[in-house]
Structure 1
Amino acid sequence: MNIIFVEPHFPRNQREFPRALAAVGANVIGIGETPWDYLDDELKSWMVHYEQVGSVTDRYQMTETVRRIQGMVWVDKLESTIEAHQMVAAQVREDLGIPGTSVRTTWLCRDKPSMKDALRAAGVPTAVSTGADNAEQVWEFARQVGYPLIVKPRDAAGAAGTSRVDNDTQLTAALESMGGYDSIAVEEFVEGHEGFYDTITIDGQIVTDFASHYFPGILEAMRTRWISPMFIATNRVEGGGLYDEIREMGHRVNQALGITTSATHMEWFHGPKGLKFSEIGARPPGVGCWDLYNAANDMDVYRAWAEAIVHGRVTQTPSRSHSAGIVALRPDHDGQIKGYSGLEEIENRYGRWIIDAHIPHAGTGTQPIEAGFMANAWIRMKHPDFDQLKAMLDDVGRTVHVYAG
């Protein structure tokens, strides 16, 4: 099978996808923005051909490049795993007759108001929401629904560009900050615990799944410097209760949006109003989630994805032997890292449970906290007991300090 894979070089874990595709027997053809000479020998060894383009989000460039490849070999699939690449990949597939996730499904997975309209029609519980093309429409929604509200770009990924507003003054500020966006998604704020549900889906059926929890919620985590936020992939998915509800919700979302064979990443809330769906990406999760799943479940999720794409089946089963999580360690100031405290103490206490860590050396420039869990320092850990792992990660967050200036 000849599979075009979009952007195999960046970010770093993108290389795992061509690695896995090659391992299950695919001929991998890469299209990316990095010159061939800059790719390392290992990455090159997983591809039978590579094409450089100026931008993988330029529909014309991508269409012409793929058409040229089709003139050389039969192309069975074209796959992308980055949110910003999804729409162009879908458009090229439909333009050139390549099977895969449709433009309609890709649109519904990126345009938040349209997504939720489709899901509400299918009976999936979601927050009240709308898409607005101007400020007056947002103000009218606020008058009807009341505060608090969430406002964000219609096609934003995760918490990018997202604001919670609790009054007219905050809404005015949020709208001014989003002046460059063509359209805005606005919805009621749903109180409750926040997590996500990730799948590998084949022909619309979920064949492998994982559930994770945020501590605290993602919006608070990406806005509050003193918090050392974490997320934990649980090994209690088979325990029924909430997880059965999440699984049923995931199946209904797939059916409503037309997900066929794809990785998916779904966000959810659970609180006083029960389980509420938040949003979905027809792609793998970011920030190294699949690496946590690998460590916790004695499997290679990238290879499982590749099996689904190439062979239409998955031969691996998650062991659920451990829960696994990451805690982000924020510098106390923006600038350059000066040093750390508490690292040796944590190593002595929990060394056997540490998967890996990223501890940038002194002099490294910091990144803003809203850049995400892996923007600065972080530690990843696993443990057979979910509650014990959460306590350990909490302890890491309290004990380790990152100093910058």
Structure 2
Amino acid sequence: MNILFIEPSFPANQRQFVRALASIGAHVYGIGERPYEWLDDEVKGWLRGYQQIESVTNEGALEWAVRQAQEKFWVDRMETVIEAHTLPVAHVRERTGIPGISSSTAYLCRDKVAMKDVLRKAGLPTAASAGVSSLIESRDFARSVGYPVILKPRDAAGAAGTYRAENDAELEAVARACGLADGAPAAMEEFIEGHEGFYDTLTVDGHVAHDFISHYYPNVLEAMRTRWISPQIVSTNEVEAPRYGELREMGRRVIEALGITTAATHMEWFFGPKGLKFSEIGCRPPGVGQWDSYCAGNEFDLYREWALAVCHTRIEQRASRRYACGIIALRPDQDGNIAGYEGTDEVFGKYRDLIVGEHFPTPGTPTQGVEAGYMANAWLRVRHENFDALRGILNEIGERVQVRAY
């Protein structure tokens, strides 16, 4: 089977999808923005060919590269796993006759306002939302639902560009920050109080083949704005417990309503005083290397399962559900350059057998801002057979490990 894979080398875990496709015997051809010489030797070894273009979100350039490939060989599938690439890839798929996620589904998974409109009509519990294109419209929406409100780009991924406003003055400030005050369109939502997490799947022909549930500690907006917090994302190994039944059913209904066929999905949710509420979904895997947590927690290769799904609409393995697995971000105490680390010897001495992933930038490395995310600076990935015990370990790591900067 011949597979076009969009942008095989960036971000770093893209290589895992290329590896997985090659491992099941697919002939993988890459289309990306980087020169071929910049690809590492392993990625080059997994690829049968590569075409560089200026931007993979430029549909004209992408279509040219696809048609060039089609003149040389039959293209069975074209795949991408990056949020911003999903819609242009879907458009080009349709124009070049390649099967895959439709452009209408890709659009609904990108546009937060249209997405919620469809799901609300399908009877799914979502926050009140609206598309706005002026400060006046944003004020009208805030008055209709009450503060606080959330303001974000209509096609945002994760917490990028997302703001919370508590009153008219804050709304005006964030409207300027995100361009709404200058007429840029945005999505507004009522603020939903409660715990935040996500439900991820590998879906085959519209049916959930693998599913996973993760929790944020604390919620994303707080985690991405507060330096002293060492935030965690923890996947549970109790996915099949009755308390998650409502969440799993909601995820299946969302997938059906949006027409998602064979793809990875990433769905955010809240649970609080108003019950379980849908937040948003992407037709792609989660970020922050979360699939590596699922692989470690379930003792299987989820990337290979994805490759089998997109190439042959089947899976081979069953998730073991043996371990809960979580990542903890370890922030520098200030912006600047990494000076060193405190508490790491103690933590590694105590928990080495439980640590399944780590990253500690060498001293002298420039720091990245808190808003850059969970893997921007130092981090550890840890697993344990008991979810509550894992949470305690991660809390201890967050208290003991200090990242010093100058």
TM-score band, normalised by shorter chain? over 0.9
Q: Secondary structure at the match of 1:227?
A: coil
**Percent identity of the aligned residues?**
57
Q: Considering only aligned residues, what root-mean-square deviation do their CA atoms show, in Å?
A: 0.9
Q: Secondary structure at the match of 2:212?
A: strand
How far the C-alpha of 1:24 sits from its partner, in A, is: 1.2
How far the C-alpha of 1:264 sits from its partner, in A, is: 0.3
Q: Deviations over 1:36-76 (max 9, x none)?
A: 12222211121111111111111110001101111111111
Q: Which amino acid aligns with 1:385?
A: N
Equivalent in the alignment of 2:250: 249
Equivalent in the alignment of 1:109: 109
Equivalent in the alignment of 1:185: 187
Equivalent in the alignment of 1:402: 403
For the 8 Å contact 1:150–1:187, the answer to whether it is kept is: yes
How far the C-alpha of 1:182 sits from its partner, in A, is: 2.3
Aligned residues: 404
CA distance in 2, matches of 1:369, 1:336: 14
Q: Deviations over 1:265-304 (max 9, x none)?
A: 0000011111101000000111110111111101000000
For the 8 Å contact 2:27–2:47, the answer to whether it is kept is: yes
Q: Secondary structure at the match of 1:361?
A: coil
Q: Secondary structure at the match of 2:72?
A: coil
Q: Secondary structure at the match of 1:107?
A: helix
Equivalent in the alignment of 1:386: 387
CA distance in 1, matches of 2:195, 2:91: 36
TM-score (norm 2): 0.98
Equivalent in the alignment of 2:41: 41
CA distance in 2, matches of 1:68, 1:348: 54
For the 8 Å contact 1:192–1:271, the answer to whether it is kept is: yes
Q: Deviations over 1:335-377 (max 9, x none)?
A: 1111111111111221211112111111100001111100000
CA distance in 2, matches of 1:4, 1:60: 16
Q: Secondary structure at the match of 1:173?
A: helix
Q: Which amino acid aligns with 1:220?
A: E
CA distance in 1, matches of 2:16, 2:224: 27
How far the C-alpha of 1:85 sits from its partner, in A, is: 1.0
Are residue 147 (structure 1) and residue 152 (structure 2) matched?
Answer: no
Q: Which amino acid aligns with 1:90?
A: A
CA distance in 2, matches of 1:396, 1:54: 43
Q: Which amino acid aligns with 2:101?
A: T
Are residue 231 (structure 1) and residue 233 (structure 2) matched?
Answer: yes
Q: Deviations over 1:209-267 (max 9, x none)?
A: 100000000110000000000010100001112x1111101110011111010000000
CA distance in 2, matches of 1:237, 1:304: 18
Equivalent in the alignment of 1:260: 261
Are residue 53 (structure 1) and residue 53 (structure 2) matched?
Answer: yes
CA distance in 1, matches of 2:305, 2:273: 36
Deviates more, 1:198-207 or 1:176-185: 176-185
For the 8 Å contact 1:153–1:181, the answer to whether it is kept is: no
Equivalent in the alignment of 1:63: 63
Equivalent in the alignment of 1:121: 121
Any gaps of 5 or more consecutive residues in structure 1?
A: none
Equivalent in the alignment of 1:201: 203
Equivalent in the alignment of 2:306: 305
Deviates more, 1:43-52 or 1:119-128: 43-52
CA distance in 2, matches of 1:305, 1:224: 35
Q: Which amino acid aligns with 2:195?
A: H
For the 8 Å contact 1:28–1:49, the answer to whether it is kept is: yes
Q: Which amino acid aligns with 1:388?
A: A
CA distance in 1, matches of 2:357, 2:260: 34
For the 8 Å contact 1:337–1:362, the answer to whether it is kept is: yes
For the 8 Å contact 2:293–2:325, the answer to whether it is kept is: yes
Q: Which amino acid aligns with 1:205?
A: H
TM-score (norm 1): 0.98
Equivalent in the alignment of 1:219: 221
CA distance in 1, matches of 2:355, 2:205: 37
How far the C-alpha of 1:181 sits from its partner, in A, is: 6.9
